Structure 1
Amino acid sequence: MYIHVSVSEVSTAFFLKRKLCEVPYNKTLDWSKWYVFWAEERAVAKNHSESNYKLTKEEFLSKVPILNGHVYSINDNATVEEAATDYEFVIRQLVKIRTVGVSESNDCPKFDLILLNIGPDGHVASLFPNHPALELKDDWVTYVTDSPEPPPERITFTLPVINSASNIAIVATGEDKAKAVSFAISDCNEGLGATSVPARMVQPTDGKLVWFLDEAAASSLEAGNDAYEHQY
């Protein structure tokens, strides 16, 4: 049995570090079974300060004995379009040989865990509000050249891939995420434009979604909200 984990922004690397780099997990987990991917990546060099690979390596990968050959980062020497195409090809090959499982519902790769961060605008991975990438059905990996946050060029998993995961965790910290969290979770926000919030579109087809919030990020949620009671 392999364990396939896909991370996004640096906050998710901190999340892994806080738990898995400490006793007893750092000594008891079979790290040879772990495979690591990126749900999103900025189209920058691996040693760039904004590289998700660099941040994840510093905060997590350098502290655990995951095999180098089990870490799949993007080709930072290619154009962003080529990088997305190459990354999808690699994942398709891993699915073909069953290193990565496949979802029975839509033939997408079925990662064991996808860790996501939510932005103040409600974006997850590099899927931004009202962006055409949200509508993709057949692609596993796509690219954006117009990210509203720098750098503008990124690769990202598509929603069908994210929603095919066995487990999805969305991390939100800080008051600036409170409104987006409320739009993504609360039923009372139906009809207020909440359906355009990408985080609200994270709905596992055959898996589990868990939110991890600090007090500030949860400040706009009503105490009696069912989503709040059952997911935190």
Structure 2
Amino acid sequence: MATTRRKMIVFPSKNELSEAMAKYTANLSAKFCKQKGLFTVVLSGGDLIDWLSKLVQPPYIDSVEWSKWHVFWVDERVCSWEDPDSNYKLAMDSFLSKVPIPHKNIYAIDKNSATDGDAEHCAVLYEECLKNLVKENIIPISPKTGYPQFDLQLLGMGPDGHMASLFPGHPQINVKDKWVTHITDSPKPPPKRITFTLPVINSALYNLMAVCDKEQAHVVSEIMKENKPLPSARLSAQVENVWYLDQAAASML
């Protein structure tokens, strides 16, 4: 498994963090589009989508090679695409609908199974989707870990230290025999979700964790001091594991 050191950058405000995230993402997009002709990027939900807003503004809206993007979700709520809880809807409304990424390159949870509320089936189908994309040479397999290797994952963290839908005290954090697993008793509603497993998350080449606000400050401090074995403390990457914090989130360091 990856052993990259954690890198931390503190920004004066969310606005500066958002600007830096856009530049970071655009630079990696340019790097991978040039190297291999495509860019695989994994999104999470919550405030992260708002922080991506700078990408739909100049200079990025016109300079990023959007047609070469392939978009995935590190976790998703098991609900219809139109449900306000859906990470797909959040990303589509605020980001994806504003950039010219081909719809076929946006890989959402299976709509029918999500509407039916079958979390386990959704996880199975999403893993099958990833495996098909491995066969199509869209996603490579990491030679170091044997799991799918995404170019960039843009992640967020809850005030309890969870990332994706890997929660403290829940067994999903220890799953190694699957790429995608499910949870039906999430401590944060809605209870039914699917999520990448930790080995998949840590097989990404670049992982960027963005954390803002005072309510996150205590858990950020615990993770940076390595005081608690929280899910977010186990984040790594094959090349770079970087944390972007605003001043409020870093206030207890």
* TM superposition shift of 1:99: 0.9
Give the structure 2 partner of residue 200 of structure 1.
233
Aligned residue for 1:93, secondary structure, equals helix
Give the structure 1 partner of residue 132 of structure 2.
93
* TM superposition shift of 1:10: 2.7
* TM superposition shift of 1:76: 3.1
Q: Which runs of 4+ in 1 moved over 3 A?
A: none
Give the structure 2 partner of residue 124 of structure 1.
163
Give the structure 1 partner of residue 20 of structure 2.
none
* Aligned partner (choices 11, 15, 19) of residue 51 of structure 2: 15
Give the structure 1 partner of residue 152 of structure 2.
113
Determine the C-alpha separation between the residues in 1 that align with 2:67 and 2:220.
Answer: 35
CA RMSD of aligned residues (A): 1.0
Give the structure 2 partner of residue 155 of structure 1.
194
Give the structure 2 partner of residue 209 of structure 1.
241
Cα contact 1:43–1:76 (8 A) shared by 2: no
CA deviations 1:40-70 (Å, max 9, x no partner) are 0001111111110000001110110000000
Aligned residue for 2:249, secondary structure, equals coil
Counting matched residue pairs gives: 213
Cα contact 2:207–2:236 (8 A) shared by 1: no
Cα contact 2:162–2:168 (8 A) shared by 1: yes
CA deviations 1:94-141 (Å, max 9, x no partner) are 012211122111221111111111000000000000211111112110
Cα contact 1:40–1:125 (8 A) shared by 2: yes
TM-score normalised to structure 2 length: 0.82
Give the structure 2 partner of residue 33 of structure 1.
68
CA deviations 1:140-196 (Å, max 9, x no partner) are 100000100100000000110000001111111111111111122224x3xxxx11x
* TM superposition shift of 1:220: 1.1
Determine the C-alpha separation between the residues in 1 that align with 2:222 and 2:134.
Answer: 34
Give the structure 1 partner of residue 82 of structure 2.
47
TM-score normalised to structure 1 length: 0.89
Determine the C-alpha separation between the residues in 1 that align with 2:192 and 2:144.
Answer: 31
* TM superposition shift of 1:14: 1.6
**Letter matched to residue 114 of structure 1:** Q
* TM superposition shift of 1:35: 0.4
**Letter matched to residue 44 of structure 2:** S
Determine the C-alpha separation between the residues in 2 that align with 1:96 and 1:179.
Answer: 43
Pairs within 5 Å for 1:52-91: 52-78=87-113, 79-91=118-130
* TM superposition shift of 1:22: 1.2
Residue identity (%): 44
Determine the C-alpha separation between the residues in 2 that align with 1:104 and 1:159.
Answer: 17
